[in-house]
């Protein structure tokens, strides 16, 4: 069974989804504009694909992917190193009552999509699907 990114069995609340999207957009813009003063991070192009929040909105987990899919460890290390600055940017640019603690994870959904495409392209699978 696939691991659920959310802490509750019923899934995220509307508030969690709204806050997660606000954080995703804010982080994406800050990274795209180069608001973080780290040369290593400035050399990377990082996509923030999704942000999930804990039910109390105190922890936000950003799922990220470096452009080209390479340099996962370097991207996570650079983001973690600049977590405080990213949190300050988030606090300034959002009107959240509490700025959540940020965590960064590699988004593995891209890999899963590639695996699924490869599986569906196999001759034996295509034959079974056509029957």
21 or 113: which leads in pLDDT = 21
CA 63 remoteness from chain centre:
2
Structure pTM? 0.76
Answer yes or no: is pLDDT of 117 > 80: no
Tens-digit pLDDT profile for residues 47-78:
999 999 999 999 999 999 998 777 889 999 99
Contact yes or no for 106/64 (Cβ under 8 A): yes
Of the pLDDT bands very low, low, confident and very high (cuts 50, 70, 90), residue 127 is confident
Tokens representing 34 are 């180069």
- Ordered by where they begin, the domains of the chain are 14-130 (3.30.300.20)
Sheet of 59-66, strand order: 46-53, 59-66, 101-106
pLDDT, residue 6, reads: 47
Question: What is the bridge-based pairing of β-strands 101-106 and 46-53?
Answer: unpaired
């Amino acid at each position: 069974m696939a691991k659920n990114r959310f802490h509750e069995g019923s899934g995220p609340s509307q508030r969690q989804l709204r806050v997660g999207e606000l954080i995703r957009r804010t982080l994406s813009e800050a990274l795209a504009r180069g608001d973080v003063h780290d040369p290593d991070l400035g050399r990377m192009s990082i996509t923030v694909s999704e942000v999930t929040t804990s039910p109390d909105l105190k922890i936000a987990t950003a799922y990220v992917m470096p452009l080209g899919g390479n340099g996962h460890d370097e991207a996570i290390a650079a983001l973690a190193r600049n977590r405080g600055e990213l949190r300050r940017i988030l606090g300034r640019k959002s009107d959240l009552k509490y700025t959540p603690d940020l965590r960064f994870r590699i988004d593995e959904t891209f890999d899963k999509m590639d695996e699924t495409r490869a599986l569906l392209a196999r001759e034996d699978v295509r034959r079974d699907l056509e029957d």
